[in-house]
Chain A
Protein backbone atom coordinates (compact mmCIF):
# COMPACT_ATOMS: atom_id res chain seq x y z
CA UNK A 1 0.00 0.00 0.00
CA UNK A 2 1.37 3.44 -0.92
CA UNK A 3 2.16 5.86 1.93
CA UNK A 4 -0.61 8.27 0.81
CA UNK A 5 -3.20 5.51 0.78
CA UNK A 6 -1.97 4.25 4.18
CA UNK A 7 -2.35 7.76 5.56
CA UNK A 8 -5.91 8.01 4.22
CA UNK A 9 -6.86 4.64 5.71
CA UNK A 10 -5.19 5.53 9.03
CA UNK A 11 -7.17 8.79 9.11
CA UNK A 12 -10.40 6.95 8.34
CA UNK A 13 -9.87 4.51 11.21
CA UNK A 14 -8.60 7.32 13.43
CA UNK A 15 -11.93 9.04 12.81
CA UNK A 16 -13.81 5.84 13.71
CA UNK A 17 -11.73 5.46 16.90
CA UNK A 18 -12.17 9.02 18.14
CA UNK A 19 -15.88 9.08 17.31
CA UNK A 20 -16.38 5.72 19.08
CA UNK A 21 -14.50 6.94 22.16
CA UNK A 22 -16.56 10.10 22.23
CA UNK A 23 -19.82 8.10 22.03
CA UNK A 24 -18.67 5.61 24.69
CA UNK A 25 -17.72 8.38 27.11
CA UNK A 26 -21.03 10.08 26.40
CA UNK A 27 -22.95 6.84 27.09
CA UNK A 28 -21.12 6.30 30.38
CA UNK A 29 -21.51 9.83 31.76
CA UNK A 30 -25.17 10.17 30.76
CA UNK A 31 -26.23 6.84 32.28
CA UNK A 32 -29.44 6.83 34.32
CA UNK A 33 -31.75 4.07 35.61
CA UNK A 34 -34.16 4.37 32.66
CA UNK A 35 -31.37 4.11 30.10
CA UNK A 36 -30.90 0.98 28.00
CA UNK A 37 -27.32 1.42 26.79
CA UNK A 38 -26.12 -2.20 26.38
CA UNK A 39 -26.71 -2.56 22.61
CA UNK A 40 -25.40 0.94 21.65
CA UNK A 41 -22.43 0.53 24.00
CA UNK A 42 -21.30 -2.81 22.58
CA UNK A 43 -21.90 -1.88 18.94
CA UNK A 44 -19.85 1.32 19.28
CA UNK A 45 -17.22 -0.51 21.36
CA UNK A 46 -16.82 -3.12 18.61
CA UNK A 47 -16.47 -0.46 15.89
CA UNK A 48 -13.79 1.32 17.93
CA UNK A 49 -11.97 -1.95 18.67
CA UNK A 50 -11.96 -2.89 14.97
CA UNK A 51 -10.54 0.55 14.09
CA UNK A 52 -7.74 0.15 16.67
CA UNK A 53 -7.02 -3.40 15.51
CA UNK A 54 -6.68 -2.29 11.87
CA UNK A 55 -4.50 0.67 12.93
CA UNK A 56 -2.23 -1.78 14.76
CA UNK A 57 -2.06 -3.98 11.67
CA UNK A 58 -1.18 -1.06 9.39
CA UNK A 59 1.37 0.45 11.78
CA UNK A 60 3.47 -2.71 12.11
CA UNK A 61 4.12 -4.77 15.19
CA UNK A 62 2.81 -2.50 17.97
CA UNK A 63 0.82 -3.02 21.17
CA UNK A 64 -2.89 -2.27 21.54
CA UNK A 65 -2.21 0.72 23.80
CA UNK A 66 0.16 2.19 21.24
CA UNK A 67 -2.33 1.53 18.43
CA UNK A 68 -5.02 3.29 20.50
CA UNK A 69 -2.73 6.29 20.98
CA UNK A 70 -1.93 6.43 17.26
CA UNK A 71 -5.59 6.08 16.23
CA UNK A 72 -6.77 8.77 18.65
CA UNK A 73 -3.94 11.09 17.67
CA UNK A 74 -4.75 10.60 13.98
CA UNK A 75 -8.40 11.27 14.73
CA UNK A 76 -7.67 14.42 16.74
CA UNK A 77 -5.19 15.79 14.18
CA UNK A 78 -7.57 14.99 11.32
CA UNK A 79 -10.39 16.81 13.10
CA UNK A 80 -8.21 19.90 13.48
CA UNK A 81 -7.10 19.71 9.85
CA UNK A 82 -10.67 19.74 8.52
CA UNK A 83 -11.52 22.85 10.53
CA UNK A 84 -10.92 25.16 7.51
CA UNK A 85 -13.64 23.28 5.57
CA UNK A 86 -16.04 23.62 8.50
CA UNK A 87 -15.02 27.28 8.75
CA UNK A 88 -15.92 27.90 5.09
CA UNK A 89 -19.36 26.32 5.58
CA UNK A 90 -19.85 28.34 8.77
CA UNK A 91 -18.85 31.57 7.01
CA UNK A 92 -21.45 30.92 4.31
CA UNK A 93 -24.23 30.86 6.93
CA UNK A 94 -22.65 33.82 8.70
CA UNK A 95 -22.75 35.81 5.44
CA UNK A 96 -26.43 34.93 5.03
CA UNK A 97 -27.12 36.03 8.61
CA UNK A 98 -25.23 39.30 8.12
CA UNK A 99 -27.05 40.44 5.01
CA UNK A 100 -30.53 39.05 5.39
CA UNK A 101 -33.50 41.31 5.87
CA UNK A 102 -36.08 39.81 8.14
CA UNK A 103 -39.73 40.33 7.16
CA UNK A 104 -41.54 42.69 9.49
CA UNK A 105 -43.30 40.70 12.19
CA UNK A 106 -47.01 41.62 12.38
CA UNK A 107 -47.06 40.90 16.13
CA UNK A 108 -44.16 43.30 16.76
CA UNK A 109 -45.94 45.92 14.64
CA UNK A 110 -49.01 45.49 16.86
CA UNK A 111 -46.85 46.09 19.94
CA UNK A 112 -45.48 49.28 18.38
CA UNK A 113 -49.01 50.51 17.70
CA UNK A 114 -49.94 50.06 21.37
Chain B
Protein backbone atom coordinates (compact mmCIF):
# COMPACT_ATOMS: atom_id res chain seq x y z
CA UNK B 1 0.00 0.00 0.00
CA UNK B 2 2.82 2.35 0.88
CA UNK B 3 4.45 1.57 -2.46
CA UNK B 4 1.44 2.30 -4.66
CA UNK B 5 1.43 5.13 -7.15
CA UNK B 6 3.54 8.22 -6.60
CA UNK B 7 4.83 6.82 -3.34
CA UNK B 8 6.53 9.99 -2.12
CA UNK B 9 3.18 11.67 -1.64
CA UNK B 10 0.82 8.74 -1.19
CA UNK B 11 2.80 6.49 1.14
CA UNK B 12 2.26 8.99 3.96
CA UNK B 13 -1.37 7.90 4.10
CA UNK B 14 -0.76 4.14 4.10
CA UNK B 15 -0.26 3.62 7.84
CA UNK B 16 -3.21 5.84 8.97
CA UNK B 17 -5.41 4.10 6.37
CA UNK B 18 -4.39 0.64 7.59
CA UNK B 19 -5.05 1.76 11.18
CA UNK B 20 -8.44 3.22 10.24
CA UNK B 21 -9.47 0.01 8.43
CA UNK B 22 -8.37 -2.08 11.39
CA UNK B 23 -10.24 0.10 13.93
CA UNK B 24 -13.38 0.05 11.79
CA UNK B 25 -13.26 -3.75 11.87
CA UNK B 26 -12.57 -4.06 15.60
CA UNK B 27 -14.50 -1.19 17.23
CA UNK B 28 -18.29 -1.39 16.99
CA UNK B 29 -21.03 0.54 18.74
CA UNK B 30 -23.62 -2.23 18.28
CA UNK B 31 -23.25 -6.03 18.68
CA UNK B 32 -21.97 -7.77 15.55
CA UNK B 33 -24.21 -10.55 14.17
CA UNK B 34 -23.03 -14.07 13.40
CA UNK B 35 -21.04 -15.15 11.27
CA UNK B 36 -19.06 -11.88 11.36
CA UNK B 37 -18.80 -12.15 15.16
CA UNK B 38 -16.70 -15.34 14.75
CA UNK B 39 -14.29 -13.46 12.54
CA UNK B 40 -14.19 -10.56 14.98
CA UNK B 41 -13.37 -12.87 17.92
CA UNK B 42 -10.55 -14.47 15.91
CA UNK B 43 -9.30 -11.01 14.92
CA UNK B 44 -9.27 -9.77 18.52
CA UNK B 45 -7.46 -12.93 19.68
CA UNK B 46 -4.87 -12.54 16.93
CA UNK B 47 -4.44 -8.75 17.04
CA UNK B 48 -2.60 -8.56 20.37
CA UNK B 49 0.23 -10.97 19.64
CA UNK B 50 0.54 -10.01 15.94
CA UNK B 51 0.90 -6.33 16.85
CA UNK B 52 3.67 -7.10 19.34
CA UNK B 53 5.26 -9.57 16.92
CA UNK B 54 5.30 -6.99 14.11
CA UNK B 55 6.95 -4.50 16.45
CA UNK B 56 9.65 -7.06 17.25
CA UNK B 57 10.10 -7.96 13.57
CA UNK B 58 10.52 -4.27 12.67
CA UNK B 59 13.18 -3.84 15.35
CA UNK B 60 15.04 -6.97 14.20
CA UNK B 61 14.93 -5.77 10.59
CA UNK B 62 16.36 -2.41 11.67
CA UNK B 63 19.07 -4.09 13.74
CA UNK B 64 20.03 -6.90 11.32
CA UNK B 65 23.19 -6.39 9.24
CA UNK B 66 21.31 -6.17 5.93
CA UNK B 67 23.24 -3.09 4.80
CA UNK B 68 26.60 -3.93 6.43
CA UNK B 69 25.75 -2.20 9.71
CA UNK B 70 24.56 -4.07 12.77
CA UNK B 71 22.60 -2.34 15.54
CA UNK B 72 22.82 -4.69 18.55
CA UNK B 73 20.34 -2.80 20.75
CA UNK B 74 17.50 -3.00 18.23
CA UNK B 75 18.40 -6.56 17.29
CA UNK B 76 18.38 -7.89 20.86
CA UNK B 77 15.28 -5.96 21.95
CA UNK B 78 13.51 -7.07 18.75
CA UNK B 79 14.17 -10.74 19.48
CA UNK B 80 13.02 -10.25 23.08
CA UNK B 81 9.74 -8.72 21.88
CA UNK B 82 9.31 -11.59 19.41
CA UNK B 83 9.72 -14.00 22.34
CA UNK B 84 7.08 -12.09 24.33
CA UNK B 85 4.74 -12.28 21.32
CA UNK B 86 5.18 -16.07 21.21
CA UNK B 87 4.44 -16.32 24.92
CA UNK B 88 1.26 -14.25 24.47
CA UNK B 89 0.22 -16.44 21.55
CA UNK B 90 0.79 -19.68 23.48
CA UNK B 91 -0.98 -18.35 26.60
CA UNK B 92 -4.04 -16.71 25.06
CA UNK B 93 -4.52 -17.59 21.38
CA UNK B 94 -3.04 -21.02 20.76
CA UNK B 95 -5.57 -23.77 19.90
CA UNK B 96 -6.15 -26.45 22.53
CA UNK B 97 -5.88 -29.55 20.30
CA UNK B 98 -3.63 -30.53 17.40
CA UNK B 99 -6.69 -30.88 15.17
CA UNK B 100 -7.68 -27.25 15.85
CA UNK B 101 -4.10 -26.28 15.13
CA UNK B 102 -3.84 -27.97 11.71
CA UNK B 103 -7.41 -27.72 10.38
CA UNK B 104 -7.01 -24.03 9.33
CA UNK B 105 -4.25 -25.12 6.92
CA UNK B 106 -7.08 -26.33 4.67
CA UNK B 107 -7.46 -22.71 3.60
CA UNK B 108 -4.04 -22.66 1.88
CA UNK B 109 -5.05 -24.70 -1.22
CA UNK B 110 -8.27 -22.68 -1.28
CA UNK B 111 -6.35 -19.42 -1.48
CA UNK B 112 -3.89 -20.75 -4.06
CA UNK B 113 -6.49 -22.23 -6.43
CA UNK B 114 -8.01 -18.90 -7.67
CA UNK B 115 -4.51 -17.43 -7.98
CA UNK B 116 -3.47 -20.33 -10.24
CA UNK B 117 -6.71 -19.98 -12.26
CA UNK B 118 -6.08 -16.23 -12.52
CA UNK B 119 -2.49 -16.76 -13.71
CA UNK B 120 -3.62 -19.20 -16.44
CA UNK B 121 -6.45 -16.84 -17.45
CA UNK B 122 -4.03 -13.91 -17.76
CA UNK B 123 -1.66 -16.09 -19.80
CA UNK B 124 -4.53 -17.13 -22.08
CA UNK B 125 -5.74 -13.54 -22.48
CA UNK B 126 -2.23 -12.29 -23.28
CA UNK B 127 -1.62 -15.05 -25.85
CA UNK B 128 -4.95 -14.54 -27.56
CA UNK B 129 -4.26 -10.83 -28.13
CA UNK B 130 -3.12 -10.05 -31.69
CA UNK B 131 0.53 -9.06 -32.00
CA UNK B 132 0.88 -5.35 -32.70
CA UNK B 133 2.61 -4.20 -35.84
CA UNK B 134 6.21 -3.12 -35.60
CA UNK B 135 6.57 0.53 -34.61
CA UNK B 136 7.68 2.83 -37.47
CA UNK B 137 11.25 4.09 -37.44
CA UNK B 138 12.04 7.45 -35.84
CA UNK B 139 12.03 10.37 -38.22
CA UNK B 140 14.93 12.83 -38.36
CA UNK B 141 13.33 15.23 -35.89
CA UNK B 142 12.81 12.49 -33.32
CA UNK B 143 16.34 11.15 -33.86
CA UNK B 144 17.77 14.62 -33.21
CA UNK B 145 15.72 14.87 -30.04
CA UNK B 146 16.92 11.48 -28.71
CA UNK B 147 20.52 12.26 -29.68
CA UNK B 148 20.40 15.59 -27.86
CA UNK B 149 19.08 13.92 -24.69
CA UNK B 150 21.76 11.23 -24.75
CA UNK B 151 24.59 13.66 -25.46
CA UNK B 152 23.42 15.99 -22.69
CA UNK B 153 23.32 13.10 -20.21
CA UNK B 154 26.78 11.98 -21.31
CA UNK B 155 28.12 15.53 -20.83
CA UNK B 156 26.54 15.63 -17.38
CA UNK B 157 28.13 12.33 -16.28
CA UNK B 158 31.51 13.51 -17.61
CA UNK B 159 31.09 16.80 -15.75
CA UNK B 160 30.21 14.92 -12.57
CA UNK B 161 33.42 12.88 -12.75
CA UNK B 162 35.58 15.92 -13.52
CA UNK B 163 33.85 18.11 -10.88
CA UNK B 164 32.27 20.62 -13.30
CA UNK B 165 28.78 21.98 -12.67
CA UNK B 166 25.99 22.06 -15.22
CA UNK B 167 23.07 24.27 -14.28
CA UNK B 168 20.12 23.25 -16.34
CA UNK B 169 16.75 22.29 -15.00
CA UNK B 170 14.68 19.51 -16.61
CA UNK B 171 11.96 21.87 -17.85
CA UNK B 172 14.49 24.22 -19.37
CA UNK B 173 16.33 21.30 -20.94
CA UNK B 174 13.20 20.16 -22.70
CA UNK B 175 12.28 23.62 -24.00
CA UNK B 176 15.88 24.30 -25.12
CA UNK B 177 16.09 20.97 -26.84
CA UNK B 178 12.73 21.29 -28.61
CA UNK B 179 13.59 24.78 -29.83
CA UNK B 180 16.93 23.46 -31.09
CA UNK B 181 15.14 20.64 -32.85
CA UNK B 182 12.79 23.11 -34.47
CA UNK B 183 15.75 25.15 -35.67
CA UNK B 184 17.66 22.07 -36.83
CA UNK B 185 14.70 20.12 -38.18
CA UNK B 186 15.76 18.07 -41.11
CA UNK B 187 19.46 18.34 -40.22
CA UNK B 188 21.70 16.62 -37.71
CA UNK B 189 22.12 18.04 -34.21
CA UNK B 190 25.43 19.82 -33.46
CA UNK B 191 25.72 18.04 -30.13
CA UNK B 192 25.93 14.61 -31.68
A contacts, CB < 8 Å to B: 4, 7-9, 11-20, 23, 36-40, 43-44, 47-48, 51, 69-70, 73-85, 87, 90-91, 94, 97-98, 100-102, 105, 108
Interchain nearest-CB distance for A70 vs B (Å): 5
Interchain nearest-CB distance for B58 vs A (Å): 11
Establish whether residues A44 and B107, one from each chain, have CB atoms under 8 Å apart when the complex forms: no
Q: Which 10 interchain pairs have the tightest Cβ spacing?
A: A15-B110, A78-B107, A81-B104, A15-B107, A40-B121, A43-B121, A73-B35, A19-B114, A39-B125, A11-B106
Establish whether residues B114 and A73, one from each chain, have CB atoms under 8 Å apart when the complex forms: no
B53 contact set on A, CB distance < 8 A: 87
Interface size class of B (residues with CB under 8 A): 35 or more
Which label, helix, strand, loop or mixed, suits the secondary structure of the A interface? helix
Interchain nearest-CB distance for A73 vs B (Å): 4
Interchain nearest-CB distance for A74 vs B (Å): 8
Name B125's contact: one of A7, A36, A80 (CB within 8 Å). A36
Assembly CA distance A101 to B114 (angstroms): 40
Q: Contacts A13-B110, A74-B35 known; list 13 others, CB within 8 Å.
A: A11-B106, A16-B113, A37-B125, A43-B118, A69-B35, A73-B39, A74-B107, A76-B42, A76-B43, A81-B107, A82-B108, A94-B64, A98-B75
Interchain nearest-CB distance for B166 vs A (Å): 23
Assembly CA distance A84 to B89 (angstroms): 9
Q: Which residue of A has the minimal Cβ distance to B64?
A: A97
